[in-house]
Chain A
Amino acid sequence: MTGHQPLQPRALVMSRRGLLGGMGALALGVALSPRISLAQATGQAPADTPNPLEAILELRPDGTVFLQMPYVEGGQATSTAMAQLVGEELDLDPAMFTVECAPPLPAYVVPGTRRTTGGSSSVRRSYMPMRKLGATARAMLIQAAAARLAVPGAELATEPGRVIHPSSGRSLGYGELARAAAELPVPATPELRSPEQFRWIGKPVARIDGRDKSTGRTRYSIDVSMEGMLLASVKHAPRLGMQVRRLLNEDAVRAMRGVHSVHALAGCVAVVADRWWRANRAVEALQVEWSEAAEPGRFVMRADFSTAKAREEMRTADGPRYNAEDIGDAEGVLAAADKVVEAVYDVPFVSHAQIEPPSATASWNDAEGTLEIWLPNQAPDRFIKMISDASGIDPSKITLHSPTLGGFFGRHFVYPHSSPFPQAVALTRAVGRPVKLIWSREQEFLRDAPRPLGMARMRASIGADGMPTALKIEAVCDSLVASMGAAREAADPTAVEGLAERVYQFKNRKVDHIAYRYPVVVGALRSVGHSLNDFFMESFVDEMADAGGIDPLEWRRRMVSDSARHLALLDHVVEMSGGWRRGPYTAGDGTKRARGIAMASPFGSETATIAEVSIRDGEVQVHDIWTVIDPGRIVNPTSVRMQMQGGTALGLSLLLSEGLEFEHGKAVARNYDGYPMMAPYRMPRVHVGIIESGAEMGGVGEIGVPGGMSAAANAVARLSGERPRSLPLSKTRFAAGA
C-alpha cells in the first residue's frame, strides 16, 4: 500500500505499573483478603506484599478512581455495581470510577471464593468486602484531612469527592488528600453507612460503561493492537482429535499477498499475515489432509457421532446412575399407584454464540522469557495456570490481561480445546513477534463448548385429590463439570439443578442423574442446568396439574404453601399481569391467546413468571412476559431489569429456535446462517418486578433464562393442545388452538 500508513491504535492499558506510577495516588490493597491489609504510597511496596501491583482502589489526584475488581465485565453490569458499592461508602459518585478486571494475583481473591466470574455470584460475594474497601479509604481520607486542617477528625464529614469541615467551611478534594492518606495506617473496622442512608446502592445508577459502549469506544480483546504485531487465522481439524498429515498447497498459500508464514499446529493449521482478513482468506485456501486420532480418547470426536443417534440411546440409557435426591418412597408409591403420568423431554446442544469471536494476542519476549497475553476469559487465575502448564512458562513470567468481554454467557470458562491461547502462544514463539489470533465464526462454531444435550424421563403418580403423590426424574446427559476440571465419573450437580431440591413439597421424590457420555466437550451456558431442567420440570408440573384437574397456578400455590416468600412471588406476578387467566381467550386484535406460568430458583434467587402467546401460521408468538425476581436485596434495579430481560431473551431463543445438531461427528451449523437465534422482532415485552424480601442475596445475571421460556412453553401447550416436549419449537408446527 502507498500513501497511507496504517494507524496503530493504542493497545488496551499496557501496563498496570504505569498507571500506578501517577504521583499522589492512594493505592489501597485492602479488605478483600485479610492477609493483605495495608495502605501503600504509590510505588513503595510494603515488605509483606508480594507484588506492588496489588492495589485494588486507586484514588487519583484529579478526583477519579481506578478500581481493579476480581471479576470480568461482560455485560452483566458488575463493574457498575462495584462502583456503587465502593462509591457509597467512599462517598464518591459511581460515575467517577473506572473499573477493570484485576490481574491474576492472590490479593484479588475474595476470601472463601474462587476467582471466577460465573454462577451469578460477583455482586453478592463482594457486597460487604467492596463496601468495607470504600469505607476504609474514606476513613483514611478523613484522617489525612484532620491533620492537614489541624482539626479533630470527628469535626469532619464528607460530601461526594471531598472532605469537608462544616464549621469553618473549608474542604479538601479526595485527590489532594490521596498521597497523605496513603501514609496512614489502615483502620481495622471502618464504619459503614446504614441502608437508609444509601444514595447509590439500590438506586437506578447509570451504567458506567454506557456511553463508551454506545459510541464504539470500548476496547475488547479483538481490538488489541501491539507494535510490530502480525495477525493470524486458523483452520481447525474437522473433528476434535484429528491432526495435520500434510499440506497440499502450502507454496501457493505462502505466495498469497501479505502472508508471512504457514504453520501446522496441534489439531489445526494457521496462517500468519500482515492483516487478519488476508490470514483468514489464506487459511481458508489451504488444503489440508487430516489424519484420524491415533486412538480413541476423551477428546476425540467419533466419525459416527450424531445427535439423532444420541437421543435414541438416551431414551433407554441406564447408567452410570447418580442419585441426587431421594425422599420418601417414590418407587414404591409409583408402583402401587392407580394413576401415573409419564413424559420424556429433550433439548439440544446449544452454542454460546456470543457475538465477539474468541481471540488471543500474545507477545513472547525471548530474551527475557516473558509472555504478555490478552485473552477473553472469566477466570484469570485458572487461565494463567493453564497457560503456564501448556507453555512451560512460569506464571511469574506471564502477564495476562482480561479485557471486557463481547458477551460470554459461560463461553470463557476453562474448557479443553476451546480457547485460542495455545495457538497464539505457539505462533508468537514461532515468528518472534506479537501475534493476534482471531477465530473466524466458523472456527468458533467448531470449538465452542456447547450447552449439554439433555433429556429428562419423568414419572408421577396422581392421588385422588388430583395432587401428585410421588415424582421420579431421570436426567440424562453428560457431566458438564467434568469439562471444567472435575472428575467425570462422579455426580454432577449441574445435571440436576432445577430438578432436585425444588421448593415444591413432594412427599415422595427421587431424582437421578444418568450419565450418558458423548464425545462433545460441553460447557456452561447462562443459567447452566436451569436452562434445560427448569423447562423440563415446569412443563411436567403443568402435565401433573392437568392430569389431576388442578389449575397450574393453584397447583403451585398448594405446593409452596409453606413458603411465604414463594406465595408472595406468585401473588406479585399474577397482579402484575392483570390477574390470572389461563385461556385460551381472544385478544383485542382478534388473535387467540393463552398464558402459562412457571417458577424457578436459580443461583439463590427466586422467580415467578407468566407468559402470553399466540400462534400464527404454526409459529409461536410470545407477546408479553411478566416476571418477578426476589434476589433478597439488590444493588441496581435498572441492572436487574436489564439482566432479567436479557436472560428471558436467551431462554426464549432456546425455546423457539436454537439447537446445534451433529452428523458424522461434525456440527451441522458452522455460522449464524445455520444456527437460528431468535430474530429480534420476536422479542416480547418483558415486564420485570423486583421483590427485596431481605433473604440472603441471590444472583441476577442468569436468573431470567428459565422462567420466561418455561412459562411460554406452558402457554403453547394450553393454546395448541400439544405439549412441547422437544426443543426448539421451530421443529413443530402448532395448531392455532380451539
Chain B
Amino acid sequence: MKLIVNGEQHELDIEQDAPLLWVIREELGLTGTKYGCGLAQCGACTVLVDGMAVRSCVTPVSSVDGASITTIEAVEQDEVGARVVEAWVRHQVPQCGYCQSGQVMAATALFKQNMNPDETDVQVAMTNYCRCGTYNAISEAIASIKEA
C-alpha cells in the first residue's frame, strides 16, 4: 500500500490492520509520535490525516491509504503548525514533554479548522491527557494564537 507521510510517499508491504502509530514509529522511524494507551484515550499518538486530528494508535493503516498524513516532525512546515509550535515554546508549555507532540497536533488541527475558536471549540479539540498538568500553559498558548 501507499502511505503519504509528511509529503513523502512510502510503499509498504504491511498488514491492513497494522496501527498507523506503529507504522509511523517502526516502519518510518519517526518517533516523535508517541504510544500512550493504544485505546485512543490519551491522545499522545495524535497525527493529522488530511488536516484532521486522528488518534493513530487505533487507526488501521489501510484506512489512510492515499491520505496525507502529517506528524510532529513536519508540523512546522505547516503555517498554522509553525505558529502553534512557536506559541508552545513561548509559553513554556512542555514539562516532561511526552504528550506534547499530540497536544501540538491537536491544537494545529483545531486552528486549521478555525482560527478563532471559542471556549467550547477548544474544549472539544483539546482532550489529550497531560499527566504533568500543563493545561494552564496550553490554554495560554492557545489564547495567544487566537489573539495573534
Which A residues are within 8 Å of any B CB, using their own CB?
1-4, 6-9, 74-77, 206-207, 209-220, 222-223, 225, 231, 257, 275-277, 352-357, 404-409, 438, 440-442, 638, 642-643, 645-650, 653, 671-673, 677, 679-681, 683, 685-686
Q: Is the CB of B26 within 8 A of A214?
A: no
Q: Is the CB of B85 within 8 A of A215?
A: yes
Q: Is the CB of A206 within 8 A of B92?
A: yes
B59 to chain A, nearest CB (A): 12
Known: A215-B76, A277-B22. A646 touches B12 (CB 8 A): no
Interface string of B12-34 (1 = CB under 8 A from A): 11110011001000111101111
Closest CB pairs A-B (n = 3): A216-B32, A649-B133, A213-B97
Known: A277-B22, A645-B133. A441 touches B96 (CB 8 A): no
Task: Give the residue name and chain of the B residue nearest to A438 (CB).
Answer: B35
Q: Is the CB of A214 within 8 A of B137?
A: no
Q: Is the CB of B136 within 8 A of A405?
A: no
Task: Give the residue name and chain of the A residue nearest to B127 (CB).
Answer: A680
Q: Which residues of A contact B31 (CB under 8 A)?
A: 9, 216, 219, 222-223, 225
Known: A276-B22, A407-B132, A680-B126. A6 touches B95 (CB 8 A): no
B88 close to chain A: CB less than 8 A: yes
Most chain A CB within a 10 A radius of its CB, from B75, B88, B133: B133
Q: Which residues of A contact B100 (CB under 8 A)?
A: 213-214, 216
B104 close to chain A: CB less than 8 A: yes
Given contacts A222-B31, A355-B130, 19 further A-B contacts (CB under 8 A): A1-B12, A1-B27, A3-B11, A6-B27, A6-B28, A207-B92, A207-B94, A209-B94, A211-B89, A213-B100, A215-B72, A277-B26, A352-B131, A355-B42, A407-B98, A407-B131, A642-B134, A646-B95, A672-B39
A317 to chain B, nearest CB (A): 32
Q: Which residues of B contact A677 (CB under 8 A)?
A: 129, 131
B50 close to chain A: CB less than 8 A: no
Known: A7-B29, A214-B100. A355 touches B131 (CB 8 A): yes
Bound CA span A643–B128, Å: 19
B115 close to chain A: CB less than 8 A: no
B53 close to chain A: CB less than 8 A: no
Bound CA span A401–B85, Å: 29
B65 close to chain A: CB less than 8 A: no
B20 to chain A, nearest CB (A): 10
User: Which of B39, B72, B123 contacts A671 (CB under 8 A)?
Assistant: B39
User: Which of A4, A210, A404, A646 contacts B27 (CB under 8 A)?
Assistant: A4
Which B residues are within 8 Å of any A CB, using their own CB?
10-15, 18-19, 22, 26-29, 31-39, 41-42, 44, 71-73, 75-76, 85, 88-89, 92-101, 104, 123, 126-139
Bound CA span A214–B93, Å: 8
Q: Would you list 17 pairs from A and B whose C-beta atoms are within 8 A, ordered by A residue?
A: A1-B14, A210-B89, A216-B32, A354-B98, A355-B98, A355-B130, A404-B97, A406-B34, A643-B95, A646-B95, A646-B133, A647-B133, A649-B130, A650-B133, A672-B129, A680-B128, A680-B138
Known: A215-B75, A679-B127. A4 touches B26 (CB 8 A): no
Q: Which residues of B contact A231 (CB under 8 A)?
A: 26
Q: Is the CB of B13 within 8 A of A441?
A: no
Q: Which residues of A contact B18 (CB under 8 A)?
A: 277
Task: Give the residue name and chain of the B residue nearest to A222 (CB).
Answer: B35
User: Which of B22, B38, B71, B134 contacts A216 (CB under 8 A)?
Assistant: B71
Bound CA span A4–B28, Å: 9
Q: Is the CB of B22 within 8 A of A275?
A: yes
A258 to chain B, nearest CB (A): 9
Q: Is the CB of B37 within 8 A of A672?
A: yes
Task: Give the residue name and chain of the A residue nearest to B44 (CB).
Answer: A355
B137 to chain A, nearest CB (A): 6
Q: Which applies to chain A's interface (DSSP): helix, strand, loop or mixed? A: loop
Q: Is the CB of A355 within 8 A of B136?
A: no
Q: Is the CB of A212 within 8 A of B38?
A: no
Q: Which residues of A contact B35 (CB under 8 A)?
A: 222, 357, 438
Q: Which residues of A contact B134 (CB under 8 A)?
A: 642, 645-646
User: Which of B14, B33, B36, B41 contacts A357 (CB under 8 A)?
Assistant: B36
Known: A407-B131, A407-B132. A441 touches B36 (CB 8 A): yes
Known: A214-B85, A642-B92. A257 touches B15 (CB 8 A): yes
Q: Is the CB of A6 within 8 A of B29?
A: yes
Q: Is the CB of A214 within 8 A of B88?
A: yes
Bound CA span A211–B75, Å: 13
Bound CA span A681–B139, Å: 10
Q: Is the CB of A218 within 8 A of B28?
A: no
Bound CA span A246–B15, Å: 29
Q: Is the CB of A2 within 8 A of B11?
A: yes
Q: Is the CB of A406 within 8 A of B95?
A: no
Q: Which residues of A contact B123 (CB under 8 A)?
A: 680-681
B41 to chain A, nearest CB (A): 4
Q: Which residues of A contact B12 (CB under 8 A)?
A: 1, 3-4
Bound CA span A680–B102, Å: 14
Task: Give the residue name and chain of the B residue nearest to A74 (CB).
Answer: B96
A282 to chain B, nearest CB (A): 12
Q: Which residues of A contact B71 (CB under 8 A)?
A: 216
A454 to chain B, nearest CB (A): 21
Q: Is the CB of B11 within 8 A of A646?
A: no
Task: Give the residue name and chain of the B residue nearest to A257 (CB).
Answer: B15
A488 to chain B, nearest CB (A): 29
Q: Is the CB of B133 within 8 A of A409?
A: no
Bound CA span A681–B127, Å: 7
User: Which of A4, A9, A354 contacts B131 (CB under 8 A)?
Assistant: A354
Q: Is the CB of B96 within 8 A of A405?
A: yes
Q: Which residues of A contact B98 (CB under 8 A)?
A: 220, 354-356, 406-407
Most chain B CB within a 10 A radius of its CB, from A74, A218, A650: A218
Bound CA span A686–B135, Å: 10
Known: A6-B26, A9-B29, A409-B131. A213 touches B19 (CB 8 A): no
Bound CA span A677–B131, Å: 9
Q: Is the CB of A683 within 8 A of B99?
A: no
Q: Which residues of B contact A206 (CB under 8 A)?
A: 89, 92
Q: Is the CB of B131 within 8 A of A2?
A: no
Bound CA span A8–B129, Å: 29
Bound CA span A209–B132, Å: 15
Q: Which residues of B contact A409 (CB under 8 A)?
A: 131
Q: Is the CB of B33 within 8 A of A216?
A: yes
Q: Which residues of B contact A75 (CB under 8 A)?
A: 94-97, 132
Bound CA span A223–B15, Å: 23
A11 to chain B, nearest CB (A): 11
Q: Is the CB of B131 within 8 A of A650?
A: yes
User: Which of B11, B92, B97 contacts A4 (CB under 8 A)?
Assistant: B11
B35 to chain A, nearest CB (A): 7
User: Which of A8, A74, A355 contacts B29 (CB under 8 A)?
Assistant: A8
Q: Which residues of B contact A441 (CB under 8 A)?
A: 36-39
Q: Which residues of A contact B132 (CB under 8 A)?
A: 75, 407, 646, 649
Q: Which residues of B contact A681 (CB under 8 A)?
A: 123, 126-127
